Structure 1
């Protein structure tokens, strides 16, 4: 009888401890939620509310004076009837492809070279990152001078017998010129990420490979590249998303010219919104871009779940 009473008391004690623990965890969760709440409010006000407003405006003729009027799918019909939309999509895809072909491998190559340096590695890192801190206004002015028909690049080309190239006027060179400039300006930030990943690879692996007689190429191919594969895939996805929204350089350097050769999809949205002041069509264009980028984000999320990319 006494044993059953003691067992009952022990059970009640354990239940009270469990209830107190749950209560404590609930309070801890509540306090955590209170700390996160300001960030959630800011996130909702400045991100999700504009997204919702943009989707809503895509079905209206937006007029800040007379008020908005519902037009249904008319804005989307305007998009599909505008030939510049197809041109901007082609230019955006071309821009994304050029950024991959010309610019994506540059930070990887430089990171590999710097990681193999025995001396002056710190100076090389700083020198590679410096273009990233150059103000855009200065950057555009310098590269306009470099690309000028009588500028230094054409002077070098003439000296070696190639001849003059109209980088800013020739539609075959205008987008390529922009990608080269942006690659030079922005590869330093990606380089630091790749370099950090390379330097985190255990040095024992390289030492064992050297003992087995592996050269630089074999070490890079069989050790370094597989080790930084996750970072490569992650930055690839981020670059695709970033270049799909590119408009700043195209607008500042050539305003979409020559003859719409650098008119990107995002720049077309800017024209509809701030030149034509047709915010309804601009919102509809933004909604379509949002859907396309959401697909890329879902792809990245699935790659994360499958282990293809790990942050």
Structure 2
């Protein structure tokens, strides 16, 4: 007597559905493979290599040697590390106090303009497209002891300010320059958020007799609160990695007044050629930035970035 080999419908149906889903999404997975490969090759592998290098003394001639936590011990014993952390936190604070509100102010002001709004958008964004080489040259000239800024201060009866030499002014000068150069891109994001607010809200407020400041305070700012929180976290992450301007303008001077944490990593790697300690510094920064990224993710999940 022949035995039946038929597969029960209840067992074959889930397998058929599973194979159907795989076939349906196969091309999507194939298109993702190049991006995943590039992401792994240029991001996760360097991160893994950096973590491993932080436990070694890197020597391209004699070969690497395992030193355990010695590189991290060097980091915590180096006085320059504490100086760089303080300078980085100071730089982040200055960027918030001086520069964070500038794009919000411009975005709200431009949205309230009745004429020449397009010209104002272009004019505010233009500094962002200035090449960095030109930018640094122009601002060195502006900050020069006999430059235009000091000439104006002298005409007003104010004493000369040594922007590039005075420790009290060097970091402030950098933040002012970067604010002028980069606020245009953030302004466009805020402006898009402001223009997405329903115009009926403003019309109703005007009918009720609300002035410009009242409309901004009770309608505009609450409506873009999510974008403000998001841009705040992004700026904190960006300024914590401040390096390029400090290096190009003053190379960490005067007397380490603009020595940031990222610049110290570059010094360890390419000046002192101590790649193990540089990797240890980078790993510590990676974990610090990961905490900021987690905070941003939690804010996003709680709906803090919704308009």
TM-score over 0.5 for the alignment? Answer: yes
2:272 is equivalent to residue 276 of structure 1: yes
Q: How far, CA to CA, are the matches of 2:210 and 2:55 in structure 1?
A: 63
5 Å-filtered alignment, 1:185-264, equals 185-264=181-260
3-state SS of the aligned residue for 2:218? Answer: helix
User: What is the aligned partner in structure 2 of residue 306 from structure 1?
Assistant: 302
Q: How far, CA to CA, are the matches of 1:16 and 1:193 in structure 2?
A: 52
User: What is the aligned partner in structure 2 of residue 101 from structure 1?
Assistant: 97
Q: Which of structure 1's runs of 4+ aligned residues deviate more than 2 A? A: 14-24
Q: How far, CA to CA, are the matches of 1:111 and 1:231 in structure 2?
A: 12
2:68 is equivalent to residue 52 of structure 1: no
User: What is the aligned partner in structure 1 of residue 5 from structure 2?
Assistant: none
User: What is the aligned partner in structure 1 of residue 3 from structure 2?
Assistant: none
What TM-score comes out, normalization by structure 1 length? Answer: 0.94
Kindly state the Cα deviation for residue 162 of structure 1 after the two structures are TM-superposed: 1.0
Deviations 1:221-242 (A, max 9, x none): 1110111111100010000000
Kindly state the Cα deviation for residue 86 of structure 1 after the two structures are TM-superposed: 0.2
3-state SS of the aligned residue for 2:171? Answer: helix
5 Å-filtered alignment, 1:1-311, equals 20-310=16-306
Against the structure 1 CA distance between its residues 59 and 116, is the aligned structure 2 distance closer, same or farther, given a 3 Å change threshold?
same
Gaps of 5+ in 1: 1-10
Q: How far, CA to CA, are the matches of 1:68 and 1:201 in structure 2?
A: 58
Q: How far, CA to CA, are the matches of 1:31 and 1:149 in structure 2?
A: 63
- Aligned CA RMSD, in angstroms, stands at 1.5
Q: How far, CA to CA, are the matches of 1:98 and 1:189 in structure 2?
A: 19
3-state SS of the aligned residue for 1:157? Answer: helix
Against the structure 1 CA distance between its residues 310 and 57, is the aligned structure 2 distance closer, same or farther, given a 3 Å change threshold?
farther
The count of aligned residue pairs is 300
Q: How far, CA to CA, are the matches of 1:112 and 1:177 in structure 2?
A: 26
Deviations 1:25-54 (A, max 9, x none): 221222211110110010000000000000
Q: How far, CA to CA, are the matches of 2:13 and 2:48 in structure 1?
A: 46
Kindly state the Cα deviation for residue 304 of structure 1 after the two structures are TM-superposed: 1.1
3-state SS of the aligned residue for 1:168? Answer: coil
Gaps of 5+ in 2: 1-7
3-state SS of the aligned residue for 1:149? Answer: coil
Q: How far, CA to CA, are the matches of 1:92 and 1:19 in structure 2?
A: 56
Kindly state the Cα deviation for residue 16 of structure 1 after the two structures are TM-superposed: 7.5
User: What is the aligned partner in structure 2 of residue 7 from structure 1?
Assistant: none
Against the structure 1 CA distance between its residues 310 and 60, is the aligned structure 2 distance closer, same or farther, given a 3 Å change threshold?
farther
